[in-house]
Structure 1
Amino acid sequence: MTKISAKLVKELRDMTGVGMMDAKKALVAVEGDMDKAVDYLRENGMAKAAKKSDRIAAEGVTHIIESGNKAAIVEVNAETDFVAKNDQFQALVKEIAQLILENEPATLEDALKIESDGSTIEDKIAEATTVIGEKISLRRFEVISKEESQNFGLYSHMGGRISVITLIEGADEQTARDVSMHTAAINPRYVDRKDVEPAELEHEKQVLTEQALNEGKPANIVEKMIKGRLDKFLAEISLNDQPFVKDPDMTVSKFVASKNGEILSFVRYEVGEGIEKREENFAEEVMNQMKQN
């Protein structure tokens, strides 16, 4: 019998999206011939997701879960919004979030290796990819722990299109959730202006300086203008300084302080952010099909 290497099995899995055992079985059956193995899987109805590894999965859902003093947030992607609403997909996302919360993996690679009921998260995703017929992928996750004196605020918007976990010292769970709702809506980048990287601050200062000079302002006025505009920039990207959505007359930090609390951190996931979606050109697709026929 031809010896099948783990590398070959992985290659077939990546190409077809089937589970490890199915990939190995197919390779054994055709004595290690990759092309024949793909055909074998297709013929046996196990490779509906064949060659989907190059597709862009920019839809999907985020999910948050809490248990005791731990909370987890995950983003799992699919190719279409339709599949993201599929019951099987939703169940898979919840299972992944639960396993990540329980195991607290350090990296994405570690997360994919987590085992449950005899199969890994990677196997479960591959199986779902085959059954559902779209590329599915675990994109990112984070597990957060809190002390007894701290509170989580969990909030999901638009069925998991956006999810937020906020960690607050003191106050209460409702206050933390209100801050998460604000964060979902306004999308701050930092908790506090002191968290902004010096390089980013310097870059913004240079841009604002050029803007002021191009407006023809006198040099002695430019410095004052830059200070004011930089302060506005920092207020816009810093959660503490933003006007609170439920009461714009006070900042978020003042709202939390009024509840005897302090914001420590937040994690905000929005489905597909930062993923370049492929633009479909249907006219070009039709032309290509005509050329092939």
Structure 2
Amino acid sequence: MVTIGASHIEDRPMLTSRITIALLFGAVFSHAVASAGELTLFSRDGFDGREMTLRSATPNLVESGFNDRASSMIVRSGRWELCEDVGFEGRCAVYGQGEYPTLERFNDRISSAREIVPERAHGGARPHGGKRGMIALFSARALDGDARRLRRDADDFSEIDFNDSAASAQVIEGSWQLCSDAGFRGTCRIFAPGRYEDLGRGLRGRVSSARLVDEDGGGRREGDVELFSSSGFSGQRLVLREDTRDLTDFGFNDRADALIVHRGQWEFCQHADFGGRCMTYGPGRYERLGPMGNMISSLRRLR
């Protein structure tokens, strides 16, 4: 018969507690690792050559011997921002989960990389009454040239030394309204998340202000008319306040299949310069345009 001392009996609850804490910590740690982003860079096209896997922000790839060497990549989880210069500066772009056998304009030009984590994951405050967003603006088409990244409203681009400079954009998070004049005036257009390699003649080289808007533009809308590329107010959206002689300038010619008139009486025409068949729409929501669907090239206010 084996006798167990009292001291050993007293140690058992403490031991059990320590084991439980260790298991819980291990589970939490494993979950954190599993949910972290992961990116693998390859030195050649087609996922070939030397490779390097990143799981945390890397502000300087020089230290790892992989600066300006990446030619393809696999984003296994998370959304990653890749930049040409160290410290996440210079031209940047965001890539979601997927395989990228070639990096095109970023080939052999990446110097820093970091995962884009939504602000709510950190429990931090979010701007604009709960809305959060990020947009990257570029001075040349195809997301090239000098760049500026915004996380909050900018009512005058002169203050960020980028007035009348933006030619393309990448909306990383949230919906953004870009306007040709300071103070969110002039020609305005709303951009949902996505890559816009050309802002069109209506905004290219003319953007002077930008701000986050609600998904439906509510509460912050400056436009009198909204055009949608798909029926039911879906697809790409164009917001206008002024007569427009040719929607080609906005990359929206013959694309509108739904519209909202917020104020005034507006004439919509099949051809540029208000030519061809025209129809008048007053305030209201028109989820389908029938015979005018995908045929509008110009519009103007009648009263």
Give the TM-score normalised by structure 2. 0.25
Larger Rg: 2
Larger relative contact order (C-alpha < 8 A, sep ≥ 6)? 1
Looking at secondary structure, tell me which structure has more helix per residue.
1
TM-score by length of 1: 0.26
Which protein has the bigger strand share?
A: 2
